């Protein structure tokens, strides 16, 4: 969910950039009995509060587009958008509204994210040690059934019935409070730790073999969940999953400001950014300043 929050914030910054760009002049934007509010007043107020962050986002997007735009198709941006929309599910519209972002704005943000991933791919060289480390947290695509209940006592009641041999699908209909999966026999399909499912559920599911169910309920964001595994292909060897592991590492770097900072710094330096407004001269300072965080094991070209 952290990734989605960052994307929404970036989308809000993009919307604000458009708003600020339209606020330059003597035109009245609002009036009251106390007087009028001019565009320039609004611009200066917004610039003072959000200016540097908005300009930074605009400069990053412009530099990424110039340097990597020919490597990201319209389809790539749409794919990133659809992936996030699917992860948010029924919460997507509410998330847009909460952050005052339109679907069109968010599509532009999704393209920027696709550009960032291409930039990470271009600048990072992954070693065997990186793949092995990523493999420790990687899980394959799995499918399961779930029963979600409000409290632990109810969960224990469900597990007792499963232990007595009652049918899982029948208990889904009888007990589950999850409106998304209840009418689908509790099925959650093709999930892993990149599809937006609660991390605690993914971890618990990865320990189950086909046909097994959790003997203790998993406490997550929506309540207490009992899982039954329907398809767990197993992890196998890391060498067999280099493509998936690389995608996971790229995604993690794109979501980690400390690891992303040196990549964005190279991009901004190459773009030869010149900020003429003295009030926003430090807009990219946080990107260009070297970081002392060396937690990542990957190397930059």
When pLDDT is cut at 50, 70 and 90, the band that residue 45 belongs to is confident
CA angle 130–134–138, rounded 5-degree value: 160
Q: Which residue in 134, 150, 139, 135 sits closest to 201, CA to CA? A: 139
Identify the CATH class of 139-231. alpha beta
Tell me the C-alpha distance between 49 and 259, whole Å.
27
Question: Tens digits of per-residue pLDDT, 77-118?
Answer: 899 888 888 777 777 888 888 888 888 888 888 999 999 999
pTM beyond 0.85: the answer is: no
Task: Dihedral sign for Cα 46, 52, 57, 60, please.
Answer: positive
Which phi and psi (to 5°) does residue 228 adopt? Answer: -125, 125
> How many CB atoms lie under 10 A from the CB of residue 210?
14
Portions of the chain given CATH number 3.10.50.40: 139-231
Question: Tens digits of per-residue pLDDT, 257-282?
Answer: 999 999 999 999 999 999 998 888 99
Average pLDDT in the 167-184 region? 96
Average pLDDT, the chain: 86
List the end-to-end C-alpha distance of the chain, in Å, as a whole number.
30
Radius of gyration, alpha carbons of the chain: 24
CA angle 231–232–236, rounded 5-degree value: 145
């Amino acid at each position: 969910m952290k990734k989605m929050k960052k994307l929404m914030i970036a989308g809000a910054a993009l919307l604000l950039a458009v708003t600020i760009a339209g606020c330059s002049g003597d035109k009245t934007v609002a009036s009251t009995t106390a007087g009028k509010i001019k565009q320039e007043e609004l611009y200066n107020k917004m610039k003072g509060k959000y200016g540097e962050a908005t300009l930074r986002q605009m400069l990053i997007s412009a530099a990424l587009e110039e340097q990597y735009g020919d490597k990201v198709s319209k389809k790539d941006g749409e794919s990133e958008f659809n992936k996030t929309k699917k992860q948010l599910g029924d919460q997507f519209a509410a998330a847009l509204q909460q952050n005052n972002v339109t679907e069109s704005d968010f599509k532009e943000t999704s393209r920027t994210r696709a550009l960032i991933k291409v930039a990470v791919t271009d600048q990072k060289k992954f070693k065997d040690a990186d793949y092995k480390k990523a493999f420790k947290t990687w899980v394959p695509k799995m499918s399961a059934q779930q029963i979600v209940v409000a409290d632990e006592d109810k969960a224990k009641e469900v597990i007792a019935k499963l232990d007595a041999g009652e049918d899982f699908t029948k208990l889904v209909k009888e007990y589950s409070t999850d409106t998304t999966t209840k009418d689908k026999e509790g099925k959650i399909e093709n999930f892993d730790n990149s599809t937006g499912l609660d991390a605690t559920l993914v971890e618990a599911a990865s320990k189950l073999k086909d046909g097994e169910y959790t003997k203790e309920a998993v406490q997550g964001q929506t309540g207490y969940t009992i899982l039954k595994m329907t398809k767990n292909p197993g992890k196998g060897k890391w060498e067999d999953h280099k493509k998936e592991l690389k995608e996971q590492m790229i995604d993690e770097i794109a979501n980690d400001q400390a690891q992303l900072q040196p990549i964005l710094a190279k991009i901004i330096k190459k773009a030869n950014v010149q900020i003429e407004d003295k009030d926003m001269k430090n807009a990219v300072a946080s990107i260009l300043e070297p970081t002392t965080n060396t937690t990542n094991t990957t190397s930059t070209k």
